[in-house]
Amino acid sequence: MQDSQRRRFIAGAVCPQCGVLDRIVVDQEADRLQCVSCGFEQERPSAPAPQEPRTRVSRAAARRVETPAEAVTLVDPREPDEP
């Protein structure tokens, strides 16, 4: 794999050591961040597992409620009402 394909710049990233903007690259094979200006290196932080936002529907108590089924009558509005 070519060096340009395994290293990608991170747009808008600021180096924590030298403070220069747009000089951080991520090495996709080694999973490392590196500043091309000052040589700063850091392990790429792993993303935390996304959590489902808490809503009234996702609460455990809301899932326990059973709603009884009800019969539904479909009516065609084009047909006249029966006497």
pLDDT one-digit tens code per residue, 48-69: 777 877 776 666 655 566 778 8
Q: How many CB atoms lie within 10 A of CB 54?
A: 8
Round to whole Å and give the CA distance between 8 and 26: 5
Round to whole Å and give the CA distance between 5 and 58: 42
pLDDT one-digit tens code per residue, 20-33: 999 999 988 888 88
